[in-house]
Homo-oligomer: A and B are copies of this chain.
Amino acid sequence: MNRNHSYSQKSDIPTHWYNIMADYPEFYVPHLDSTTHQPVNVHSLSNIFPELLAEQEINRKDVNIPIPPELLDYYAMWRPSPLIRARNLEKYLDTNCKIFYKYEGVSPIGSHKANSAIAQAYFSKKCGFTNVVAETGAGQWGSAMSMASSFFDLNCNVFMVKNSFDSKPQRRILMQTYGSKVHSSPSNLTEFGRQIRKNDPDSQGSLGIAIAEAVEYASSDRNTVYTLGSSMNFVCLHQTIIGNELKNQLNSLQITPNYIISCIGGGSSFAGICFPFLREKLERNRDLHFIAVESNAVPTVTKGIYTYDYGDTARLTPLSKMYTLGHEFSAPVIHSGGLRYHGLSPLVSKFIADGHAEARAYSQLDIYGAARLFAKLEGYVPAPESAHSVKAAIDVALENRNSGKTIVFCLTGHGFFDLAGYEKFNAGKMEDSESPDTNIHESLRKLAHTVRPETEKGAALPPQPPLNAGVQANNSFEAWWNRNFESQSPADSFQSGHTIGSAGASPKTACGREQDKGNPNLYNLLTESKVRELIDKGQKVAFLSKGCVITPLAGELIKSHGIEIKYA
């Protein structure tokens, strides 16, 4: 008997998060304020996020950040998550590779998202906020944030991508059971949502749109703060509890991994499980490979470019340097809703761009085939996002069949809310994915158009950027940009009237949020409804903070009613 399927004990729970930016300074690739093109700082980030998270976002001094004891109590409700050996899968594949999976589906909401949600709820509460807003694609982040809000007694509003809202009522009910209000996005609650619905009444929504709605919604109320389920540096930081814990577990088994695999949507699970092992690879010279797995419907790395772009479709966020398909990229509707994001965590992007990881893209049929096989052999039914890692692990095991290598992948969550996809697959009715290259070209052209300097607007569109530029040619966008715009460097040439998070000097709350409690008219985001309020009150002047976003409909109203704009 060689029974080593599962390993978890209380002492395995890490007490610290791992901060790769402090360990390897080159990972600090700052977000840029979209107006000033200056790196954002804690002050400007605090316009969107709680100051304590804003600090984590740019922390370059603490390699190991202690997890607050109260948070550890919450983590201990489901952590350590089990590390399970996939013996049946190994046998089926007839490989002498050892395959392990780190199963994050044991969290109450069924995925790794809970790891960052409780941290964000905790820090939001610490900073005095009473309300949070979240966007959600597949429903994982919305569920996680709903649970975390319930734990910390915060009101929670969730903008859920319409396609998921309609197809996953269970996710909606779960969030409502925790006490959240759930809105189908695009919604009528935000001006951006109304605009999208006006232009495209059949819009199925996207993560980019939902983020824009959530940011707009949060900005309109001083007690409300925005939460984000992936991509940001602080989210990656929180998720490193997975990798730190995995290290403890592998150490206690005296096993050294050769492959670590996770899927990438926003990138946080990949960051979480891989980052803590980078030192092993770089300094201990281990035979260790990292693999990031994406959907071929949203091939951010394998067909996108590495450049500065907005995190959301409405361009309300700062600019981040990342792999992107362009913030207006409209991903096909796939069952892996969590991977339908045009961008990728700047840290994970840098990690891949620097050659530390390989990226692979799989089709929907590929991953459902792997997921069903895995369910039949190992019992756990993977979420479609997680199924990407299953597929990669199987491929790696087959490629290295007799090598005796150790493969570890992150099974980020279960698929109990994704069974409609399994039904289609079981019935042979699953449609395959893959975005046509023309769509990607089109989106990347728009991106170039958006980020070109104002003066260039009349000029012909630039030639198509090279596809498949991702891993092989990390600086392809810069090269392409320089070919076409010569002296301009990308970061210097962004122009946009849309920005939140400018480095203004407005008054701040104790936790650093830019707000003027004394002057209710000092806006960070001026929406149509706010202008209507002013008009209704007979006010003729709107006081705005520096860098305030004025939405287009608000702008029209200001014009037509002759409202005067004054900046603080």
CA distance A88 to B178 in the complex (A): 14
With contacts A3-B69, A108-B379, A416-B170 known, is A176 near B426, CB below 8 A? Answer: yes
Contact B5–A174 (Cβ < 8 Å) = no
Residue-by-residue, is A503-537 near B (CB-CB < 8 Å gives 1, otherwise 0)?
A: 00000000000000000000000000000000000
Contact A3–B419 (Cβ < 8 Å) = no
CA distance A150 to B378 in the complex (A): 9
Contact B10–A109 (Cβ < 8 Å) = no
Contact A72–B3 (Cβ < 8 Å) = yes
Contact A76–B426 (Cβ < 8 Å) = no
With contacts A173-B422, A173-B426, A174-B419 known, is A150 near B377, CB below 8 A? Answer: yes
Q: A148: nearest residue on chain B (CB-CB)? A: B379
A378 to chain B, nearest CB (A): 7
Residue-by-residue, is A39-80 near B (CB-CB < 8 Å gives 1, otherwise 0)?
A: 000000000000000000000000000000100110011110
Contact B379–A179 (Cβ < 8 Å) = no
Contact A378–B77 (Cβ < 8 Å) = yes
Within 8 A of B (CB), among A1-32: 1, 3-10
Question: Residues of B contacting A106 with CB < 8 Å?
Answer: 82, 106
CA distance A82 to B80 in the complex (A): 10
* Contact residue among B5, B8, B88, B416 (Cβ-Cβ distance under 8 Å from A151): B88
A254 to chain B, nearest CB (A): 15
Asked if A177 CB lies within 8 Å of chain B CBs, one says yes
Residue-by-residue, is A374-411 near B (CB-CB < 8 Å gives 1, otherwise 0)?
A: 01111111000000000000000000000000000000
Residue-by-residue, is A291-302 near B (CB-CB < 8 Å gives 1, otherwise 0)?
A: 000000000000
Asked if A543 CB lies within 8 Å of chain B CBs, one says no
Question: Residues of B contacting A423 with CB < 8 Å?
Answer: 169, 173, 176
A113 to chain B, nearest CB (A): 12
Asked if A125 CB lies within 8 Å of chain B CBs, one says no
CA distance A362 to B380 in the complex (A): 33
Number of copies: 2
Asked if A305 CB lies within 8 Å of chain B CBs, one says no
CA distance A106 to B5 in the complex (A): 15
Question: Residues of B contacting A4 with CB < 8 Å?
Answer: 76
Contact B417–A416 (Cβ < 8 Å) = yes
Asked if A84 CB lies within 8 Å of chain B CBs, one says yes
* Contact residue among B5, B76, B110 (Cβ-Cβ distance under 8 Å from A77): B5
CA distance A76 to B379 in the complex (A): 12
Asked if A446 CB lies within 8 Å of chain B CBs, one says no
Interface centre among A1, A379, A419, A426 (most CB of B within 10 A): A379
Asked if A147 CB lies within 8 Å of chain B CBs, one says yes
Contact A108–B381 (Cβ < 8 Å) = yes
* Contact residue among B3, B10, B376 (Cβ-Cβ distance under 8 Å from A73): B3
Contact B3–A76 (Cβ < 8 Å) = yes
Contact A8–B5 (Cβ < 8 Å) = no
Within 8 A of B (CB), among A153-181: 169-170, 173-174, 176-179
Contact A170–B419 (Cβ < 8 Å) = yes
Asked if A449 CB lies within 8 Å of chain B CBs, one says no
CA distance A84 to B76 in the complex (A): 8
CA distance A109 to B9 in the complex (A): 22
Contact B422–A177 (Cβ < 8 Å) = yes
Asked if A372 CB lies within 8 Å of chain B CBs, one says yes
CA distance A376 to B179 in the complex (A): 8
With contacts A379-B147, A381-B174, A423-B173 known, is A10 near B6, CB below 8 A? Answer: yes
Contact A69–B1 (Cβ < 8 Å) = yes
Contact B173–A76 (Cβ < 8 Å) = no
Within 8 A of B (CB), among A415-436: 416-417, 419-420, 422-423, 426
Question: Residues of B contacting A10 with CB < 8 Å?
Answer: 6-9
Asked if A87 CB lies within 8 Å of chain B CBs, one says yes
CA distance A1 to B75 in the complex (A): 13
CA distance A150 to B372 in the complex (A): 11
Contact B178–A376 (Cβ < 8 Å) = yes
Question: Residues of B contacting A114 with CB < 8 Å?
Answer: 379
A4 to chain B, nearest CB (A): 8
Contact B108–A76 (Cβ < 8 Å) = no
Contact B177–A6 (Cβ < 8 Å) = no
* Contact residue among B78, B150, B178 (Cβ-Cβ distance under 8 Å from A6): B78
* Contact residue among B87, B110, B170, B178 (Cβ-Cβ distance under 8 Å from A170): B170
Question: Residues of B contacting A5 with CB < 8 Å?
Answer: 73, 76-77
With contacts A151-B379, A381-B177 known, is A110 near B416, CB below 8 A? Answer: yes
Kindly list 15 other residue pairs between chains A and B, CB separation below 8 angstroms, not including A88-B151, A151-B379: A1-B72, A3-B73, A5-B76, A5-B77, A6-B78, A7-B10, A8-B9, A110-B416, A147-B375, A169-B423, A173-B419, A173-B422, A174-B416, A177-B375, A178-B375
List the 4 shortest-distance A-B pairs measured between CB atoms, nearest first. Answer: A108-B379, A9-B9, A5-B76, A1-B69
Q: List 7 A-B contacts (CB under 8 A).
A: A1-B72, A3-B73, A150-B377, A173-B426, A174-B416, A176-B423, A177-B375
Chain A residues packing against B (C-beta within 8 Å): 1, 3-10, 69, 72-73, 76-79, 82, 84, 87-88, 106-110, 114, 147, 150-151, 169-170, 173-174, 176-179, 372, 375-381, 416-417, 419-420, 422-423, 426
